[in-house]
Amino acid sequence: MNVDPSTEIEGRSVAEWMAWGENWLERADPTVNGVDGVFRQIAAITDWTYRLNNRAE
């Protein structure tokens, strides 16, 4: 992409938007901490995980 990284869009530079997007992609990637990280996340889930997150308010 041939864009000047200092160009501003909605008050942020293209470089800032790119960093923001990369950060969100990393946060959404379940394998960012390797495959063992996926299994650690699964192992941390208990039946209470869903009861607490899905209770009626």
- In tens, the pLDDT along 12-42 reads 999 999 999 999 998 888 888 889 988 998 8
CA distance 12 to 19: 11
Q: CA-CA distances (angstroms) from residue 15 to 18, 25, 37?
A: 5, 15, 29
- pLDDT higher than threshold 70 for residue 2: yes
The residue-averaged pLDDT of 44-51 equals: 83
- pLDDT higher than threshold 80 for residue 54: no
Q: Note the pLDDT of residue 26.
A: 87
- pLDDT higher than threshold 90 for residue 52: no
Name the DSSP class of 1: -
The pTM for the full model equals 0.52
Q: Judge whether 35 and 25 are in contact, CB under 8 Å.
A: no
CA distance 53 to 12: 34
